Amino acid sequence: MNVLFVNLAGAALIAFIVWWFWLSRPKAQRVRENVVEILVEAGTYTPPRIEVEAGKEVTLRFLRKDASPCAEKVIFESLGINADLPLNTPTDVVITPVEAGEIPFSCQMQMYRGSLVATNESPPE
């Protein structure tokens, strides 16, 4: 009984890891403003997924609170954009997503990860 329970729990845990980290994604935060503040702290960008309207300029204002050097840069590899994030100093990255799609961003080591989701729908007023 014990053995079966442990094995089932193990299998369920693996299924959960696969689903949670690979198959499911955090809910995107839809933004109407043209400036979005992103907190860089404790290994994560908050909010990690931001939904914006395609074709419209958006300013991502990063505020780094994590002193670890891992957090010191943010890189938008697909756009060739990177920015230094000084500690406790808001740093703006201005992007105009030309078409609908996902633009990932990360730290240099891919540990901090986030994405900008451009859609063709206008966010609700």
In the complex, the residues that contact another protein under the rule CB under 8 A are 3, 6-7, 10, 13-14, 17-18, 20-22, 24-26, 34-35, 41-46, 48, 57, 59, 67-70, 73, 75, 77, 80, 82, 84, 86-88, 90, 92, 94, 108-113
Cβ 27 to another protein, closest distance in Å?
10
Closest Cα partner for 88 from 77, 72, 102?
72
Q: Are 116 and 98 in contact (CB under 8 A)?
A: no
Nearest to residue 77, comparing CAs of 118, 116, 125? 116
Let me know if 64 is exposed, middle or buried by CB neighbors in 10 A (0-12, 13-18, 19+): buried
Strand partners, 113: 106
CB of 46 to another protein, least distance (A): 7
Amino acid residing at 70: C
Nearest to another protein of 110, 122 (CB atom)? 110
Shortest distance (Å) from residue 3 CB to another protein:
7
Q: Smaller CB distance to another protein: residue 61 or 119?
A: 61
Dihedral of alpha carbons 46, 49, 54, 55, sign: positive
Question: At its nearest, how many Å lie between another protein and the CB of residue 118?
Answer: 18
| Closer by beta carbon to another protein, 96 or else 122 | 96
